[in-house]
Amino acid sequence: MTQGERRTPARRTVLGAAGATVLGASTALAAGTGTAQAAAADRGADRTPGRGHGYRSLPVPTVIGHRGASGYRPEHTLGSYRHALDLGAHVVEQDLVPTRDGHLVCRHENDITGTTDVADHPEFASRKTTKTVDGVTLTGWFTEDFTLAELKTLRAKERIPGTRQENTLYDGRWTVPTFEEVLRWAEDEGRRRGREIWLHVETKHPSYFRSLGLGLEERLAKLLRRYGRHRANSPVFLQSFEPSSIQRLAKLVDAPGVVLLSGPSTRPWDFVEAGDPRTVADLVTPAGLRWIASYAQGIGPTLDLVIPKDASGRLGTPTTLVRDAHAEGLILHPYTHRNENTFLPADFRKGTDPTAYGDSFGALKRYLETGIDGIFSDNPDTALLAAADLTARD
Ligand code: G3P
Ligand code: CA
């Protein structure tokens, strides 16, 4: 099923080529074409046959490889991104931060202490510093204090070696990729695999970086235009926890925007800086969602906003968020699914080892049954099998 087909009365099962790959199918099933909504979204369409149908043509639920396949490889490396595609992910995620000389690089945060070997480089020892980023005080090494050439002398490593010891096998194998390298990689992979390679690109700490003269959105838009990913039907989502970043991007490019939503009591950092009193709880009301829909095409809520947990950490009753967001025409890409017990709801943990895998399929079934359009997963192969289970029952 695709998002376009979701709007037909009879639900049909249509796995994308990626889903067919993970299921071991010999022939990739064609993803369906979009609806009138997709056609309406086709401003500036790429007319290459078989391509350019836009986000409404993606399989639903869409599996987004979170930071690549970060359950199996150090996050935000070309190795992690490639493995996500090999496992069948429909979309591969990048988080973006800038270097001192204004290049966009793929890191979950600007503090690179935990995901690179920077601490082992005596030439950079004096760069260790303490900063406040979005109200949080951090001590470490930061991308904005390094030129790209300097950053490229570092090697990426596993963020949580205590939980993912096996991933440390790959420590030091890859550098920190630039976003431009990822765009080129996606072109190469697209040619090799004969399909569009979808990206889900997040601007990290956009207000903070703008205050340093390192605005992210213009740089991102320039790269998207250079590589032809700036259109409404381009194979890319643009996401941010700061709504103003998505609003800014919407003025620069036509690619679909997704507003990320954290816990209900939190406020986006741009709201804090602007004195906007609204919290995420306000944004998930019908009025809040309508406001988001005025400039974005989707939301990326925490999974807890879709199904809250009770006091013991067990899954409770789904909220009305899926219904309410769909009523405003917004898709939902919640985050983040992971297989390990420590990340699963209490009722889906198995045994007492927090690093062991729990009943990940059981948890995914509950989340996917809510009707979400996609999910960010560190383990895209697991999520794809759960998605196939769901569509097989339709
Ligand atoms: O962007 C979706 C999800 O990745 C948001 O959480 O903190 O992993 O970037 P984070
Ligand atoms: Ca992200």
- Per DSSP, the residues of 68-117 read TTTTTS-SSSHHHHHHHHHHT-SEEEEEEEE-TTS-EEE-SSSB-TTTBS
- Does 300 fall in a domain? yes
Tell me the pLDDT tens digit for each residue of 149-179: 999 999 999 999 999 999 999 999 999 999 9
- Does 24 fall in a domain? yes
- Does 138 fall in a domain? no
Residue reference for tokens 């103003």: 244
| Burial tier of 260 (Cβ tally within 10 Å: 0-12, 13-18, 19+) | buried
pLDDT for 41: 38
Which tokens hold the place of 175? 């550098």
Whether 202 lines ligand 1, by a CB cut-off of 6 Å, is yes
- Does 192 fall in a domain? yes
Residues of the chain falling short of pLDDT 70 = 1-51, 394
Q: Domain holding 314: CATH number?
A: 3.20.20.190
pLDDT for 21: 38
Give the torsion sign (CA, 156, 162, 167, 172): positive
- Does 188 fall in a domain? yes
pLDDT for 35: 33
Phi-psi region of 50 (alpha: psi -120 to 50; beta: other; left: phi over 0): left
User: How many angstroms is it from 274 CA to the middle of ligand 1?
Assistant: 23
pLDDT for 4: 61
- Does 159 fall in a domain? no
Whether 298 lines ligand 1, by a CB cut-off of 6 Å, is no
* CA 289 from centroid of its chain's CA atoms: 20
* Long-range pairs for 266-275: beta carbons < 8 A, 24 or more residues apart: 268/241, 268/242, 268/243, 269/134, 269/135, 269/205, 269/207, 269/208, 269/241, 269/242, 270/206, 270/207, 270/242, 270/243, 270/244, 270/245, 271/243, 272/134, 272/135, 273/207, 274/244
Ligand 1 atom 6: residue of nearest CA = 335
pTM here? 0.90
Whether 376 lines ligand 1, by a CB cut-off of 6 Å, is yes
Contact criterion met (CB below 8 Å) for 373 and 62: yes
pLDDT for 294: 98
DSSP state of 123: G
Q: Return all residues near 274 (Cβ < 8 A) that are at least 6 apart.
A: 244
Which tokens hold the place of 105? 């690089």
Task: Provide the number of structural domains found in the chain.
Answer: 1
User: Which residues lie near ion ligand 2 (Cβ < 5 Å)?
Assistant: 95, 202
- Does 157 fall in a domain? no
Whether 300 lines ligand 1, by a CB cut-off of 6 Å, is yes
- At 244, which helix (H) or strand (E)? helix 243-252
Domain encompassing residue 17: 5-72+82-94+178-393
User: How many angstroms is it from 338 CA to the middle of ligand 1?
Assistant: 12
pLDDT for 52: 77
pLDDT for 391: 83
Backbone angles phi, psi at 112, to 5 degrees: -100, 15
pLDDT for 50: 40
- Does 364 fall in a domain? yes
Whether 378 lines ligand 1, by a CB cut-off of 6 Å, is no
Nearest to 347 by CA among 383, 319, 384, 315: 315
Residues in the chain: 394
pLDDT for 394: 66
Q: Number of C-alpha atoms within 13 angstroms, CB side, residue 44?
A: 11
